[in-house]
Structure 1
Amino acid sequence: MLRARVYGALLTLLAGLVGVLFALPASWSDYPDRYPDFRLGRVWMTPYPSTLPVLITMLGVAGLVAAVRPSTARVAAVTAGLAALQVGGIAVVAHRDWWNLAGADGASPHRAAAGSLVSLVMGAAAGAAVVVSVLLYRTGRSVHRPSLIQVVGGVLAGAVLAGGTPLLLCAYWGYTSITAAGQFAVWWSLPWGAGVAATGTLPDCAARRTAALCVLACALLTAFCVAAPPVHGFGVRLPD
Structure 2
Amino acid sequence: MLNGAVRPGGLAIALSGTAAAAIAMAAAPWVRAQVLPIMVLPLLLAVIAGGAAAAALPRWAAGGAIVAAVAAVQVAGMATVARRDILNFAGAGGTSYDQAYLQSPFLTALAVAAAAAAGLALLMALLLLVDPRRLVRAYRSLEVWAGLLVVAAVPIGLCWALGYGSLSALGQFALWWSVPWGLALVAAGIARAQGRWAAWLSLAGSVALSVACVVAPLLNGPYLRFPD
Scaled by the length of structure 2, the TM-score of the pair is 0.87
Structure of larger gyration radius? 1
- Corresponding residue for residue 175 of structure 1: 164
Kindly, what percent of the aligned residue pairs are identical? 32
Distance in 1 of aligned mates of 2:220 and 2:196: 38
Equivalence map 1:89-238=2 (5 Å): 89-102=77-90, 107-137=95-125, 140=128, 143=131, 145-146=133-134, 148=137, 151-202=140-191, 204-229=192-217, 235-238=223-226
Which ranges of structure 1 fall in alignment gaps of 5 or more residues?
30-42
Which ranges of structure 2 fall in alignment gaps of 5 or more residues?
none
Number of aligned residues: 225
In the TM superposition, residue 103 of structure 1 has moved relative to its aligned partner by 6.6
CA contact (8 A) 2:46 2:71 kept: yes
- Does the C-alpha gap of structure 1 residues 182 and 134 become closer, same or farther in structure 2, counting only changes over 3 Å? closer
CA contact (8 A) 1:50 1:234 kept: no
| Deviation per residue, 1:71-126 (Å, 9 max, x gap) | 11111111100011001001100111101111768532222222221111111111
SS in 2 for 1:102: coil
SS in 2 for 1:101: coil
| Segment of structure 1 superposing worse, 79-88 or 215-224 | 215-224
Distance in 2 of aligned mates of 1:44 and 1:76: 30
Scaled by the length of structure 1, the TM-score of the pair is 0.83
Q: CA RMSD in A?
A: 2.6
Q: Which has the higher helix share?
A: 2
Distance in 1 of aligned mates of 2:97 and 2:217: 27
